[in-house]
Every structure is written in C-alpha cells, then in structure tokens.
C-alpha cells in the first residue's frame, strides 16, 4: 500500500516544496490558483477511489476470516457463512432473533 511507506510522505512533501519553489521563482502567475485547485480536485477523486478499494479489500479479507472461523467451530451456525449476500429482510429477521436471544 503506497500511503504506508515513509518514502511516500517524503515524496509528497518534496513535490509540495518544489511546487511552492516554482511559484516563488515565477512570481506566482495568475493561473497559479487554478492549477492548484485542479490538481487538488484530481488528487481528491483519485484518493477517494483508492480508499474505497482498500476498504473493500480489507472488508473482504475480514469476511473470509470470519467465514473460516464459522467453519472451524462445530457449534456455529453455518448459515451465517456468506450471510452478507442475504436479502435485507432476512438479515433484519435474524438480527431481531439474536436481539431477543440476548434479552432472555
């Protein structure tokens, strides 16, 4: 993962400093804010998709681990494996049953 390496932060800081140095050297031309806003918008959208991808990957890995735990425990309800694909009504029903079990 790119963002977890120290060199990634150093690279971004270096690019930011180079950007400011270039602005100072060119006396901050009139198009400076437009370019800055455009680059910022592009980076924001790219990071949005990168973060969503990483979250989805982490969620999938955690789900597979939980499924494996359910398979390994003999007393576990194997119907819960791949339960995330069940319709919302089924999930709501099971949630209510679990809530009632905890209250009794």
The pLDDT tens digits of the residues spanning 45-101 come to 999 999 999 999 999 999 899 889 988 998 887 777 778 788 999 888 988 888 888
List the Cα angle 96/99/104 in 5-degree steps: 125
What pLDDT was estimated at residue 1? 52
Please state the domain extents for the chain: 1-30, 33-103
pLDDT tens, residue by residue, 13-47:
899 899 899 999 999 999 988 998 999 999 999 99
Cβ–Cβ < 8 Å for 67, 82: yes
Q: How far, in Å, are 14, 66, 68, 80 from residue 61 at the CA level?
A: 34, 9, 11, 16
Nearest to 78 by CA among 69, 86, 66, 70: 70
Handedness of CA 84, 88, 89, 91 (dihedral sign): positive
91: CB partners within 8 A, 6+ apart: 83
pTM above 0.85, yes or no: no
């Amino acid at each position: 993962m790119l963002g977890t390496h120290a060199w990634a932060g150093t690279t971004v800081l270096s690019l930011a400093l180079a950007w400011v140095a270039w602005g100072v050297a060119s006396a901050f031309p009139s198009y400076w804010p437009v370019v800055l806003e455009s680059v910022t918008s592009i980076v924001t959208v790219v990071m949005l998709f990168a973060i969503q991808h990483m979250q989805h990957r982490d969620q999938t890995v955690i789900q597979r681990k939980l499924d494996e735990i359910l398979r390994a425990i003999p007393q576990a309800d194997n119907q819960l494996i791949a339960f995330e694909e069940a319709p919302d009504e089924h999930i709501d029903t099971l949630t209510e049953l679990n809530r009632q079990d905890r209250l009794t």
